[in-house]
Structure 1
Amino acid sequence: MSLRLTTLALLMTLPLSALSADLPPPPDAAKKPHQVKAPHGATRNDEYYWLRDDKRENKEMLAYLQAENAYVDKVMAPLKPLQEALYNEIVGRIKQDDDSVPYRERGWWYFTRFKTGQDYAVYVRARAAADGSQSQDEQVLLDLNVLAKGKGYYDIGDYEVSQDNRLLAYAEDTNGRRQYTVRFRNLETGELYPDVIQGVSPNLVWADDNKTLFYVENDPETLLTVRVKKHVLGTPVAQDAVVYEEKDDSFYMGIGRTRDDKYICIAVDSTVSSEARCTPAANPGEFVVLAPRERDVEYSADHHGGRWVIRTNAPGADGKSAPNYRIVTAPSDSTSRAQWADWVAHRDDVFIEGFELFDGFTAIAERSDGLERIRLLKKDGEEYVKADEPAYSMGLAVNSEADTPWLRYTYTSLTTPSTTYEVNTNTSERRLLKQQPVIGYDPSKYATERVWVTARDGAKIPVSLVYRKGFKRDGSAAMLQYAYGSYGVSMDPNFSMVNVSLLDRGMVYAIAHIRGGQEMGRKWYDDGKLFRKQNTFTDFIDVTHHLVREGYAAKDRVAAFGGSAGGLLMGAISNMAPDTYRVILSQVPFVDVVTTMLDPTIPLTTNEYDEWGNPEKKDYYDYMLSYSPYDNLSKQAYPAMFVGTGLWDSQVQYWEPAKYVARLRDLNTSKDLVVFRTNMEAGHGGKSGRFQRFREQAEMFAFMLDQLGVSAEPQR
């Protein structure tokens, strides 16, 4: 079939796979010998190491990325009508003039507003009326459409209103590298103050004096959070005092207020340890440690009702470990774990994720059997917030005020759009506050289910599935399987308006809740990291084989999708089981594990030794090398791939996927397409704005549908 076939009408009459013929040759990156050495003497050759340029200025490198983009444009040209159709379907489901659910704080209702045709949100607040309801007296805090004008990328990471409601501090990012700039605005006059703080994380807290702002400064190279400083509005930023400096570069740092607004706390966390230090918000001084850090002891603390409430994995008074966490209390002057008193016990079958404190009750976010739930602890007992589907996601929403019997929570599933409810903990009355509007979507046409897959070592892996009703398990369907599997991050079955376009074309969508996440508790995470990382990859492959055996998908019509650490997963399964997948979708993939983890100047490296291992130690080096996607590419037939990255990505640097694709092309013996798209104006999360990311997804999904031979015409 000729590449001149470009009309949607013709696309819909022919198998899409026919469009992959007569392709131009892909770019060929130059090879330049380079030895990567480890402290223990091991060396590896990296012929594409030269593609790394921390400043993003090397002309040869930029030319190569542009050539790859031009190649994608040429290859994808016949699929432009399908890409446009997918984009229009997705955007057509969006209610463009839409407000978020308002929440009340200090006499104001806060919410975001989108307007028709605008890419960015407007942050708005309205005064609370005498009866507490939302008045019509609205004030625009930030109009991101104005602030983003003329910029290729724009994002607000955090914004905070002073305690007297008069001043606004906000952190903006203009290239996606997550190095934020803080600016200040007077909300009464609209004046933008000259004070500008650069190179910070999006984490801001006002003191009670309404002129002092605490913020976290980043290291300009590693982007690690290294110092907490305080800025007094109207004084030179260069004179900002350091109130805390973290010397251990394996820790992340953040700052916030407690539930009762009495304390400002600095929290530092590594993969296996935590520490909090706090100072009175009314008169900030020394930040006093709540409990000294200790390896393998993690905790997070909040203050309300005259006491500290702490979620921790520290052993209890009986000396037993608490990997799934427990909740303890401590007096306000607590400075050690010896003062902690048991409150909510540890359970082997329930993982405690977090909690929210109220005057009359406490809400605990938990996981059991791979699903989320909310437990309400009340003076007269406890109960659970109910769910109605076999696979769903439920979590605490914004609950900004403690003096209320109403709990707000979110609920969603693979068939139910994101929904915000509030339930009265005294009467059990439930109110629907908002369901995400999805134009033209009818949930009754779709079905979701939860299945369990036995992995090769006997572990039971939960899998969430969704498809359009009428689907037959006859082994003929195309399927997209997604997973992440790292950092203890759980991938819950959330609704996706994008995936509706796949379901309407007869596809099955599956989320594999593999080890490395925390869906089944802390052990599930521990069994998918460090020297057990291979479980993450084999779990994913075992899930695919099971779903194919059970007729959910045709053996030759399976696509796999993952991003970031999920891109590591994609690279690993491509090496281990290339015949299992017809196409791989890999976004901002972490594929050069050993080289990256050998370089402490790269953002995230030192923070993650307890996630991946430190390859400066030979046992870790050897194990990481055994699965590193870049190092394990070999001369074999690989599936079709769509690989994406952002030039300004600070979490997975662009050169990892660039090198990976270049070496893959050298070794790949198949004729299946490999395309590599670099967004030259974006970072880890892709383009900013609510519509642009859908163009990127539409392009990727058009590629996938083509490779799977899925009809371009959706069911109606």
Structure 2
Amino acid sequence: MTKALTPPVAKKVPHEMEIHGHKRTDNYYWMRDDKRQNDEILAHLKAENDYCEAVMTPQKSLQDQLFEEMKGRIVKDDSSVPVKDGRYWYTNEVSGEEEYGRHYRALNEAMDDKSLLLDVNELANEFEYYELADLTVSPNDNLLAYSEDTDGRRIYTVKFKDLTTGQMLEDCLLETEGEVIWANDNRTVFYVKKDLQTLLGFQVYRHVLGTPQSEDVLVYEEQDSQYYMGLGKSRDDSQIFIYLSATETSDVLYLDAEQPMGDFQRLLARQEGHEYGLDKFGEYYYLLTNSDAKNFRMVRVALDAVNDPSQWQELIAHRKNVLLEGLELFDSHFVITEREMGQIRFVIHDYSGASYQLGFADECYFAGLGYNPEPSSTSVRITYSSLTTPSSVYECDLATGQKTLKKQVKVLGDFKPQDYASERIHITARDGEKVPVSIVYRKSLFNKDGTNPLLQYGYGAYGYTIDPVFSSSTLSLLDRGFVYVIAHIRGSEMLGRQWYENGKKANKENSFNDFVDVTRALITQQYGATDKIFASGGSAGGLLMGAVMNQAPELYLGVGCHVPFLDVLTTMLDESIPLTTNEYDEWGNPNQLADYETILSYSPYDNLAAKDYPNTLVTTGLHDSQVQYWEPMKWVAKLRELKTDDNVLVFKTDMDAGHGGASGRFKSLHEKALEMAFFISLLPQPTD
């Protein structure tokens, strides 16, 4: 790869900041424009895009080839497994070259008499970006509510359709979080309103169909900006829930779904550090709680005794090495999702105390509960995938555990699962902890002799676990000899709650050390060639990339850094920026000296230095509401100023997208093709 142009050079305007007696100078602070209308900033982003395009021009044919490969593996005409919800069966279908699907329902599983609910292609037709979020039908099956985002900032508009006439209602709810919950009267809905400055949901409103939004009633407002807000309905449809969650604390309010004009009541007294999930079924609440249980335990309690922990009946005790992740209630059984040594399994319980485990044979895989709207069902839908097995849907008999494969996603072309192999290994980090690592490669192109290119992916934050799932697009790398690796570093919950806590706040450095130590061990164990190692991560994984590049830049030939959280200290000091205050429990509050010093020690932007860095591709979205575009923009400018190498640094901003990148099932493949082409082009080219 050659640099085709002189890269854009940003002007420097010193901006002084001081707190705790410590001064910092940010020469690129001027790049922030909350309104995204500053001509100079937009011109600089365009110059960066032009430079990226020019640098990547020699790889244009490779990008196109990769895109066509990835697109060519996707079945053009496809549909989801129908799911019964009430009287109807629901499915969505995609066809041909269309980016989006169509949603249907029918009175039988064969979908013989299906009727169209929504054609998302039609809705998205006039927009560069389109996301359909919530799609929910009223209890009497006659009305449809759906929410849409047309600019990528996750600010949703809710619309309504009469399914008996096919006509749209006049009701339109603006500036929402996207969730819509129906009361049982079929005319009242609840939704969360966004704060347009912080982009946090903080108010719950009640809307009665046929009235203007201006008359909607505020039923709850959260004063503590550390809490995320969501809505839900109990398993038996008798209660509506407001879910409030900070990083380390849960809170739930409830309302009788038959009495939508009533007041929400707090279920449990808010207690800092108490996290729980719950559902209601019949006369009981069922809770997964961390009260006296770091990895959670399950209890059942009568409705009128929920505030008396002495009345909680423990159904599943806490176990040190087993994390309880989920619960689904049925009439005859309940299903618990557990994780032990990084591996997911399901345990099916009847209400008398008997249970059995339901698992899969792969060495490493991901499985999750599918959509199971009917508690009367005698079977549970489970989704399954591994690094070598495409996404599959199983129906499992609750009484016997017998699994029936309902569908496996088809991969077009010459894909054969037996041509690939996956492994789960554990690598000892510098402090002695063993880090799980998932690995996949094409057997015929891998000899474990230290010659293969290797791409290592990581995230490591918020307790979110990157599970080993199948990706048809990754085949384009595997078929070119790449080894693909997921490092399950601290900051996830791969090995339980303690694994997460050991990778956050004052322990954040463990995430970066784990990633670097995994890379070094993989080289030592000859999974990858010393001079062909790549790394990639997005969002908090972009922070990981920035920190790793500062710690051990010599390890990586190329890095992909996507919608990256790079300016951690400045962002966490600015409460006007979306998501700042409710993430103090994740990163720390730098208004406190100890947290300030911790964040300062690793914040990628603050720790850039005059030294060699890897070839780097950075991507973002102008309308990103989670990590603002100016974080990577500033970081790229400062990196260009300081780096002492001749390696490539390119920065691409999608001027129409937000945090999730391009919308549609094919458009997003262009972004993947760009990164793959960037990495492949850096490899030593074979000589004749």
Measured against the shorter chain, the TM-score band is over 0.9
TM-score by structure 2 length?
0.98
Aligned to 1:598: 573
Larger mean Cα displacement after TM superposition, 611-620 or 339-348: 339-348
C-alpha separation in 1, matches of 2:225 and 2:312: 28
Write the deviation string for residues 248-277 of structure 1: whole angstroms up to 9, x where unpaired. Answer: 100011111111111101110001111111
C-alpha separation in 2, matches of 1:146 and 1:206: 25
Aligned to 1:273: 249
User: How big is the shift at 1:94?
Assistant: 0.2
Match for 2:212: what amino acid?
Answer: P
Aligned to 2:317: 345
For the Cα contact (< 8 Å) 1:72–1:677, is it kept in 2? yes
Write the deviation string for residues 348-392 of structure 1: whole angstroms up to 9, x where unpaired. Answer: 010000110011111101100111111111246211112111111
TM-score by structure 1 length?
0.94
User: How big is the shift at 1:196?
Assistant: 1.3
Determine if the alignment matches structure 1 residue 156 to structure 2 residue 132.
yes
Aligned runs of 1:482-561 on 2, under 5 Å? Answer: 482-561=457-536
Match for 1:364: what amino acid?
Answer: I
C-alpha separation in 2, matches of 1:677 and 1:630: 18
Aligned to 1:675: 650
Aligned to 1:230: 206
Aligned to 2:54: 74
- What's the secondary structure of 1:538's corresponding residue? helix
Match for 1:326: what amino acid?
Answer: R
Aligned to 2:436: 462
For the Cα contact (< 8 Å) 1:305–1:359, is it kept in 2? no
For the Cα contact (< 8 Å) 2:2–2:55, is it kept in 1? no
C-alpha separation in 1, matches of 2:315 and 2:482: 47
User: How big is the shift at 1:89?
Assistant: 0.4
Runs of 4+ in 1 over 6 A off after TM superposition: none
Aligned to 1:566: 541
Aligned to 1:13: none
Write the deviation string for residues 224-247 of structure 1: whole angstroms up to 9, x where unpaired. Answer: 111100000111211100111111
For the Cα contact (< 8 Å) 1:185–1:191, is it kept in 2? yes
Task: Count matched residues.
Answer: 682
User: How big is the shift at 1:694?
Assistant: 0.1
Equivalent of residue 344 in structure 2, options 372, 385, 394:
372
C-alpha separation in 2, matches of 1:417 and 1:491: 16
Write the deviation string for residues 529-586 of structure 1: whole angstroms up to 9, x where unpaired. Answer: 0000000000000000000000100111000000000000000000000001110001
C-alpha separation in 2, matches of 1:485 and 1:77: 34
Gaps of 5+ in 1: 1-19, 316-321
Aligned to 1:354: 326
Equivalent of residue 327 in structure 1, options 292, 298, 306:
298
Aligned to 1:450: 424
Determine if the alignment matches structure 1 residue 31 to structure 2 residue 8.
no
Determine if the alignment matches structure 1 residue 313 to structure 2 residue 290.
yes
Match for 1:462: what amino acid?
Answer: P
Aligned to 1:44: 24
Shift in alpha-carbon separation, 1:113–1:666, aligned structure 2, 3 A: same
For the Cα contact (< 8 Å) 1:705–1:711, is it kept in 2? no
Shift in alpha-carbon separation, 1:643–1:711, aligned structure 2, 3 A: farther
For the Cα contact (< 8 Å) 2:285–2:306, is it kept in 1? no
Aligned to 2:191: 215
Aligned to 2:269: 292
For the Cα contact (< 8 Å) 2:105–2:111, is it kept in 1? no
User: How big is the shift at 1:337?
Assistant: 4.4
Match for 2:388: what amino acid?
Answer: T
C-alpha separation in 2, matches of 1:48 and 1:622: 22
C-alpha separation in 2, matches of 1:532 and 1:231: 44
Match for 1:336: what amino acid?
Answer: N
Larger mean Cα displacement after TM superposition, 62-71 or 423-432: 423-432
Aligned to 2:85: 105
Equivalent of residue 641 in structure 1, options 616, 631, 639:
616
C-alpha separation in 1, matches of 2:106 and 2:634: 51
Write the deviation string for residues 428-471 of structure 1: whole angstroms up to 9, x where unpaired. Answer: 32210110111121101000011110000000101000000121
User: How big is the shift at 1:170?
Assistant: 1.0
- What's the secondary structure of 1:695's corresponding residue? helix
For the Cα contact (< 8 Å) 1:288–1:335, is it kept in 2? no
Match for 2:448: what amino acid?
Answer: R
For the Cα contact (< 8 Å) 1:478–1:710, is it kept in 2? no
Match for 2:187: what amino acid?
Answer: K
C-alpha separation in 2, matches of 1:709 and 1:181: 50
User: How big is the shift at 1:127?
Assistant: 1.8
For the Cα contact (< 8 Å) 1:36–1:595, is it kept in 2? no
Write the deviation string for residues 600-637 of structure 1: whole angstroms up to 9, x where unpaired. Answer: 11111011000000011111111100000000000000
- What's the secondary structure of 1:203's corresponding residue? coil
Shift in alpha-carbon separation, 1:337–1:504, aligned structure 2, 3 A: farther
Equivalent of residue 385 in structure 2, options 412, 436, 439:
412
User: How big is the shift at 1:334?
Assistant: 3.8
Equivalent of residue 358 in structure 2, options 366, 382, 385:
385
Match for 1:341: what amino acid?
Answer: Q
Match for 1:69: what amino acid?
Answer: N
Equivalent of residue 398 in structure 1, options 354, 371, 378:
371
Determine if the alignment matches structure 1 residue 253 to structure 2 residue 229.
yes
User: How big is the shift at 1:426?
Assistant: 1.9
C-alpha separation in 2, matches of 1:197 and 1:386: 43
User: How big is the shift at 1:302?
Assistant: 0.2
C-alpha separation in 1, matches of 2:255 and 2:686: 61
C-alpha separation in 1, matches of 2:313 and 2:217: 36
Match for 2:280: what amino acid?
Answer: H
For the Cα contact (< 8 Å) 2:160–2:171, is it kept in 1? yes
For the Cα contact (< 8 Å) 2:3–2:55, is it kept in 1? no
